[in-house]
Structure 1
Amino acid sequence: MKPTIQRPVTIPDSLSTPVITPIMPSVVYASRTPDELDSQYEGRASGYTYAREGHPNASVLAARIDALEGVSGGIVLGSGMAAVTAVLLGLTKAGDHVVGGDQLYGRSLRMMAEDLPRLGITTTLADVSDVEAVEAAFRPETRMVLIEVVSNPTLRLADLDGIAALCKSKGGLLVVDNTFTTPLAVKPFEHGADIVLHSVTKLLAGHSDATLGWVAAKDPELMQRMNVFAVTTGMTASPFDCWLAERGLATFPIRFQRAQETAKRLADHLAGQAGVAKVLYPTRSDHPDMSRAQSLLQGQGGNMVSFILDGGRAQANAFAHAAKGIAFAPTLGDVGTTLSHPASSSHRALTPEGRAALGITEGFFRVSVGLEDPEALLACFDDGLSAARSA
């Protein structure tokens, strides 16, 4: 019998179709002719060639997040910081200027402070809750403004509408990191954003088992430039991580609502406890941006709560150690509640004076509320507070 070659692979025909997306980890895809390959690269036909340039699991996940944000053409990348990098390095050049929020995610701040200037791109940080501060930071060469709707970790709200109008009048791009708030709280494109990005790792995927990012732009030309940069620099998303995130995305609305309800309850509970100097939650009447939260976020506060203990590092250590069942981990958006201490994690690179200027003390904690039974969660926090008071 004449031997046969079994590759490329042929998928068996089936009248029925999978209920869930299969994992498709193939790195390469075979075309029948050079003409067919040309057709795919030149956009006359759809298809895949090499996984670094795109693969089915990334396409499916991107389309699902696109639908949530009300846009088309978004891309999934290997991490949230890959999405930030695709924007900042894919769309700027030496001589450009970028304005950023002064309380961005720690690695975004590092890129603004160290990496962009090293490449000849100047940066300025500003309080994005104050549109006048952002306007004062603008220069003739300002290319874009990067903001988070809710700041990390003090939960201040950006003046999204005011900054969008400012960017439009001055010709700068408005880039919004919507990780904290998610499209269930606000859709930045509806408020004038030009580019929106996510760390999919967080609330969208929701289980701390997939590392991914997503970014989309209104302008197809900007989207193409970011995509080319991402492909060139190898920001490939893993098919398995994309599959995990798609699975997590199916329960995202339910998870978001449950976590938000518990977060509000936790914030109110902490505010009445001895040893707690301050509680930060956007919909509380004592939050400085409460009215903006009511209008911009439609009264939703999200799943993040921050609070400040009386005392310093000794009280923080005692609290974290005694709050059994709450993971002390620098992440957010998981099904389990996590506790973060900015002074020793996200903002450790700042001087004590720099942290103090942002209101971040040694007793400052950020909480990402998960799906635990609320009563059990409050009891864990009470145990931590009792230990902190005794420290």
Structure 2
Amino acid sequence: MKNEKASLVRPDALPASASRPVVTPLSPSVVYASDTPDMLDAQYEGKLHGYTYSREGHPNADVVGRRLDRMEHAPHPGVVTASGMAAVSAVLLGLMRSGDHVIGGNQLYGRSLRMMNEDLPRLGIATTLVNPGDVTAVRAAIRPETRMILVEVVSNPTLAVADIAGLAALAREAGVLLVVDNTFTTPRAFKPFEQGADIVIHSLTKLLAGHSDVMLGWVAAADAALNDRLRVFAVTSGMTPSPFDCWLAERGMLSFDLRFDRAQATAARLADHLAGLKGVRRVLYPARADHPDHARAAELLDGQFCNMVSFELDGGRTAANAFTRGAEGLSFAPTLGDVGTTISHPASSSHRGMTADAREALGMSEGFFRISVGLEDPVTLCDVFTTAVAAAMDA
């Protein structure tokens, strides 16, 4: 019997097709083959578009990145990263150096606060935390070595609204970078680049992807050189996003506008409902006239007040435990942006690293909760909260 010639392991390219898939294919390949060394050089030199090694970019990341670039009106293609904190890290670690000084909002996401308070000082980068709604206080914190101001448009978790216009003017005057985390507000409510931001950050994990099954981030800079530095640092430090997560995120982003509008409308109803319940000490929702920053929010967000509601119960940890047990069918989980409503307790999750006194100073007592409103029927959701608050009062 004649011996057959052994075949190569990967001899074939994808079959040619006159049509194309409607759904973006998942591309898990780590490496991409080129025809010649000259062609590879042309790709690295930017003369040809192509992929080489997935840490340096892959098709699924580009699809998601282009979508968010358009949503944010980004001047240059952003960098998709493995998480929202990877995007924050790309900015703080990729652009700052020992001897620099960074000003941060005093109610940043818990891990951003930890990086500001512990990790940056360890690397010789000084930090100061200031109320981002008080431009005078931010101005007073600026030093000759200040390089950056990092804020969230709407803070986590007390929903304080930053004075973005004032901060943008101050940053230009002082010659420092204004970095805006737009995760809570999303491009549906606010576009930081159009308001003077130099760098914009997102946790795609949250409302943009929207299903609690993706972990991704995104960051882009208005300046081309800074944008390149962010990309190089993300590639060098291995902040590569998973192709599968990018593929799932694209699916979630297709329904983002619809989900945002539904959740926002329900959030407004829930905030008013909570304000009328016995045992609820206060409700924080920027659309309400009693919110401390309502006027600024109305001007800044153009009527898009988002899906986040915070409130404070009478009573301490005992009432908090009874509330979460009584909120039947809702997830008590340290996340936001899911299709289902989630409840977060900052004292035991996002801000547990702070002392009790520091949390109290910012308005986060043991009875304080943050709600990420989902897509439930509004009447049903209000009924669940009525029952849970009553359970807390009986504890």
Q: Does 1:41 align with 2:44?
A: yes
Is contact 2:308-2:372 (8 Å) kept?
yes
Is contact 2:91-2:230 (8 Å) kept?
yes
Q: Does 1:385 align with 2:394?
A: no
* Distance in 1 (alpha carbons) for counterparts of 2:141 and 2:330: 40
Q: Paired residue for 1:321?
A: 325
Which residue of 142, 146, 152 corresponds with 2:146? Answer: 142
Report deviation, 1:34: 1.2
Report deviation, 1:357: 0.5
Is contact 2:207-2:338 (8 Å) kept?
yes
1:363-382 matches, within 5 Å, as 363-382=367-386
Q: Does 1:283 align with 2:287?
A: yes
Is contact 1:98-1:121 (8 Å) kept?
yes
Report deviation, 1:33: 1.3
Q: Does 1:3 align with 2:6?
A: yes
Q: Paired residue for 1:104?
A: 108
Q: Paired residue for 2:77?
A: 73
1:226-241 matches, within 5 Å, as 226-241=230-245
Report deviation, 1:299: 1.8
Structure 1 residues 26 and 291 mapped into 2: Cα distance closer, same or farther (>3 Å)? same
Q: Does 1:31 align with 2:73?
A: no
* Distance in 1 (alpha carbons) for counterparts of 2:9 and 2:50: 21
* Distance in 1 (alpha carbons) for counterparts of 2:5 and 2:347: 70
Is contact 2:79-2:230 (8 Å) kept?
no
Counterpart code for 1:102: N
Counterpart code for 1:245: A
Which residue of 106, 118, 131 corresponds with 2:122? Answer: 118
Counterpart code for 2:258: I
Report deviation, 1:42: 1.3
Q: Does 1:216 align with 2:220?
A: yes
Is contact 2:188-2:304 (8 Å) kept?
no
**SS at 1:307 equivalent:** strand
Q: Paired residue for 1:252?
A: 256
Counterpart code for 1:309: L
Q: Paired residue for 2:177?
A: 173
Q: Structure 1 stretch 235-244 or stretch 71-80: which is displaced more?
A: 71-80
Counterpart code for 1:39: A
* Distance in 1 (alpha carbons) for counterparts of 2:229 and 2:12: 33
* Distance in 2 (alpha carbons) for counterparts of 1:276 and 1:300: 25
The one-character-per-residue Cα deviations of 1:321-358 (angstroms, maximum 9, x if unpaired) are 01101100000000000000001111111111101110
Q: Structure 1 stretch 11-20 or stretch 187-196: which is displaced more?
A: 11-20
Counterpart code for 1:85: S
* Distance in 1 (alpha carbons) for counterparts of 2:282 and 2:145: 40
Is contact 1:8-1:30 (8 Å) kept?
no
Q: How many corresponding residue pairs?
A: 391
Q: Paired residue for 2:196?
A: 192
Counterpart code for 1:207: H
Identity %: 67
Q: Does 1:301 align with 2:305?
A: yes
Which residue of 130, 136, 146 corresponds with 2:134? Answer: 130
Q: Does 1:14 align with 2:17?
A: yes
The one-character-per-residue Cα deviations of 1:103-162 (angstroms, maximum 9, x if unpaired) are 000000000011111111100000001111111111111111000000000000000010
* Distance in 2 (alpha carbons) for counterparts of 1:351 and 1:85: 24
Report deviation, 1:283: 1.1
* Distance in 1 (alpha carbons) for counterparts of 2:37 and 2:10: 18
**SS at 1:285 equivalent:** coil
Q: Paired residue for 1:335?
A: 339
Report deviation, 1:250: 0.2
Q: Does 1:159 align with 2:163?
A: yes
* Distance in 2 (alpha carbons) for counterparts of 1:39 and 1:365: 54
Q: Does 1:82 align with 2:86?
A: yes
* Distance in 2 (alpha carbons) for counterparts of 1:33 and 1:299: 55
* Distance in 1 (alpha carbons) for counterparts of 2:39 and 2:104: 44
* Distance in 2 (alpha carbons) for counterparts of 1:270 and 1:4: 69
Is contact 2:177-2:198 (8 Å) kept?
yes
**Alignment RMSD (CA, Å):** 0.8
Is contact 2:171-2:177 (8 Å) kept?
yes
* Distance in 1 (alpha carbons) for counterparts of 2:202 and 2:230: 15
Structure 1 residues 2 and 8 mapped into 2: Cα distance closer, same or farther (>3 Å)? closer
Structure 1, unaligned stretches of length 5 or more? none
Counterpart code for 2:50: G
* Distance in 2 (alpha carbons) for counterparts of 1:385 and 1:147: 32
**SS at 1:183 equivalent:** helix
* Distance in 1 (alpha carbons) for counterparts of 2:58 and 2:244: 11
Structure 2, unaligned stretches of length 5 or more? none
Is contact 2:103-2:141 (8 Å) kept?
yes
Counterpart code for 2:55: R
**SS at 1:235 equivalent:** coil
Report deviation, 1:3: 3.4
Is contact 2:259-2:375 (8 Å) kept?
yes
Report deviation, 1:7: 2.2
